[in-house]
Amino acid sequence: MDDSNKIFVGGLAWATDDHGLKAAFESFGNVTEAKVIADRMTGRSRGFGFVTFDTAEAATEALSFDGQMLDGRTVRVDKANRRTDR
């Protein structure tokens, strides 16, 4: 998978789900996956997620959503980074 097509979205409201996350970013391009990360034990949102687009250009455009409101919360949007500590 090419991480240049993926963005990180932090500061999500507890009520934001995969569908709501996808809907918020569809205006930037074709969203191939939108995933709110949940706690393994409780199933509750951890307050962040990832959105994957079919093009790197769409992901780059979506970075402009940084600081915007989603479900009543100001979200932080950045390029996704592959975890290398494990």
State the Cα–Cα distance between residues 71 and 14, nearest whole angstrom: 9
pLDDT tens, 41-71? Answer: 999 999 999 999 999 999 999 999 999 999 9
Task: With 0.75 as the threshold, say if the pTM is over it.
Answer: yes
Per the CB < 8 A criterion, the answer to whether 49 and 12 are in contact is yes
pLDDT score recorded for residue 83: 61
Q: Please say if the pLDDT value at position 86 is more than 70.
A: no
